[in-house]
Structure 1
Amino acid sequence: MFNNAPTAPYYAVIFTSVMADETSGYDAMAEKMVSLAQQQPGFLGMDSARSDLGITVSYWRDLDSIRAWKSNPQHQVAQSKGQAQWYQGYTVRIAKVERDYSMEGEEE
């Protein structure tokens, strides 16, 4: 049901977006980016939901892993297309996860 994130601490990149009217090619690129991210050193998992507002949270071991993903050449192509065509607007937030817990109980 939810991503089984590693034991904290780790980092979360929170990408929140509103789609533009023109989304041709978006779904294929999104699938490609998920596959590519899964191959990146330091990638720990991902959760995503989309309605009027889309939210994707990717989990990373450290800030260097996040920087490497941001500068990946294929990811940069996707970022450029997103800015030019697919997104009406977006924000990116990076947070350090100190603790997490679920219905099964709190992590210490």
Structure 2
Amino acid sequence: MKHISYSFSNSDIEAITFALTVLPSLELEETEAQAAINYQCCCSAGEKLLKHDTNIAPNEFRVILASLQAVQLINQGELEVDQETKQKCSSYLFTVNKLVSVFNKQMS
């Protein structure tokens, strides 16, 4: 398990849990099996963060970063979504950009 060395604010957790709801709806996975794995990881990662548990499994870490990057791509106009989702994503613009940077540093 990976322990994230970052102190999440409530707005960080809100942005991440929002992003974790967006990723499964994009249906970017190539197989149903991968979609199911990603969905379960989104659920478990969100639950852990809501409990302020930062003992994140590698697959949970992966889906958190992928979710944040997806929201970032939506905000940049590189992923097409409905207007309502796009508007919600834009409300997390600055927090998501900050968190993508934080998570990318955790990868190195």
Same-fold call, TM > 0.5?
Answer: no
- Greater percentage in strand: 1
- Greater percentage in helix: 2
Rg larger for = 1
Q: TM-score, normalised by structure 2?
A: 0.39
Q: TM-score, normalised by structure 1?
A: 0.39
Higher relative contact order (CA 8 A, sep 6+): 1
